[in-house]
Amino acid sequence: MRISELVERSGVPLPTVKFYLREGLLMPGTVTGRTRAEYGEEHLHRLGVIRALIELVGLSVQQVRRVLALTATPVGSPLELYGVLGAAVGTLPPEVPAGEASVAHPRARDALERLGQIYDPDYAAVAQLERAIAAAEASGVLLTDARLDAYGRAARDVARFDLDQLPPDPAEAVEYAVLGTALYEPLLIALRRLAHQDLAARRLGVSPSD
Amino acid sequence: MRISELVERSGVPLPTVKFYLREGLLMPGTVTGRTRAEYGEEHLHRLGVIRALIELVGLSVQQVRRVLALTATPVGSPLELYGVLGAAVGTLPPEVPAGEASVAHPRARDALERLGQIYDPDYAAVAQLERAIAAAEASGVLLTDARLDAYGRAARDVARFDLDQLPPDPAEAVEYAVLGTALYEPLLIALRRLAHQDLAARRLGVSPSD
DNA sequence: AAGAGTAGATAGTTAAACTATCCACCACAA
DNA sequence: TTGTGGTGGATAGTTTAACTATCTACTCTT
């Protein structure tokens, strides 16, 4: 299809499509002449993913570029994937500055030790954990061991489910893992908030179950 | 203390402090003269919270204003709090546009029905859930019932812990609930990612436990 | 009396994410 | 074959957010 059809079917304005092409989020079509290029269904799908990550998940253009780059990463074993994902740059706001990686993360190390999990300072998520703990401390709210255990257990339950659902096909697995990481995080957050409200309502006597 | 001391002790530049005063994030000091005002420890603490929410959690100035406004909300029972929190505007990116609240959220309603939880379209988190599901669908990744159950259970476990930890004092409870919602979300996200990596490593044979 | 500090106002800066033109030029229909 | 309109590529402008910088009058302290 031509770019006008891509614009019409995706609902994304022409200048914006051109912008994504310039920024490398959308791969170029196959050139069929000096002033003509052909786009396919994969471009349409890609545009959908881009818009979802930007408008619905709230990622920046730069973060989307990284996420999409990861979906093109070839991995040997499907299970290696989360290692690759972990060594790559974090995708969720707030962005962890480049220099902050690979430095010591004492609070995160303590926490992971307590959970019995591996500690690798090169994992971007370790820096995120460190920041999360620092934010709590700076606000006068501290992170107790009991809370760490409770959250760690819940996170592990979710992660176990995610790994169990990993598609056997490597290419599919990459897309699942990368997009799943970005797409399911807001889901978990929203469900936690709704659970707060539901449990609070029940404890107030609206319904005696649970 | 005078503003210069506040600047020095908080590490926040003077123009920025003035900006936060203008924007209503930081409450004004007690005026002691035409060109003089007095600030206290609560201003210092507030500045710490503001910086943590902006720099570490990644909230926008507008979102911080809403979060801080909520900490000043008086509630009858501590447990009412999460209801209040839910009826308020969402605080985490991506922002849910004002008009989007209170409209039908069919996918979110189905999900909540399946989880056996109350559905109230006025809850901001319902709109967030709807968007999260929409984002997954737009990306070609669908939300299975099994995943919903797994995530819902984990979210509920965390929420139960949060409610159990609610301080008995109403004023403290508000600060705990509001800041806890914002501060502990990045924690849960980081722990999920780290659990992915840890479980993936274990399944690859690095360590046979779990 | 004078210098430093301050409140309050206004203006400037930077970055991100678009959005809008411009121009040459090519393809296809009449 | 000639015009009409869609195209690629380039460049420039817009909008919003979050600061950052000045300016001015005034006042507190020494």
**pLDDT value at residue A89:** 47
- A residues 72-91 closer than 8 Å to B (CB): 77, 79-83, 85-86
Q: What is the mean pLDDT of residues B83-111?
A: 66
Whether residue B193 contacts residue A87, with contact meaning beta carbons closer than 8 Å, is answered with no
Q: Residue A92: which of B53, B56, B189 has the nearest Cβ? A: B189
B18 CB below 7 A from strand C atoms? yes
Q: Residue B190: which of A125, A138, A180 has the nearest Cβ? A: A125
Q: Which nucleotide is nearest to A50 (CA to C1')?
A: C17
At residue A145, does pLDDT exceed 90?
yes
- Residue-wise pLDDT for A31-47, tens only, equals 988 889 999 999 999 99
**pLDDT value at residue B173:** 85
**pLDDT value at residue B85:** 66
Q: In a mutagenesis test of the B interface, which of A196, A206, A207 is the best target, namely the one with the most B β-carbons within 10 Å?
A: A196
**Strand A36-38 and strand B30-33: pairing?**
unpaired
Band of pLDDT at residue B49, cut at 50, 70 and 90: very high
- Residue-wise pLDDT for A151-180, tens only, equals 999 999 999 999 999 888 888 888 888 888
CA–CA distance from B110 to each of A202, B12, B17, B103, B147 (Å)?
A: 20, 46, 46, 15, 14
Residues A64, A67: Cα–Cα separation, whole Å: 5
Band of pLDDT at residue A205, cut at 50, 70 and 90: low
Residues A139, B49: Cα–Cα separation, whole Å: 5
Nearest partner of A67 among A160, A175, A144, A149, judged by Cα: A175
- Residue-wise pLDDT for A172-204, tens only, equals 888 888 888 888 999 999 999 999 989 988 887
Nearest partner of A187 among B191, B108, B59, judged by Cα: B108
Q: What percent of chain B has pLDDT over 90?
A: 49
Question: Worst-scoring range by mean pLDDT, A65-74, B77-86, B163-172, B192-201?
Answer: B77-86
Band of pLDDT at residue B155, cut at 50, 70 and 90: very high
- Residue-wise pLDDT for A130-142, tens only, equals 989 999 988 888 8
What does pTM read for this prediction?
0.88
**Mean pLDDT score of chain B, rounded to an integer?**
86
| A-B Cβ pairs (cutoff 8 Å, strict) | 299
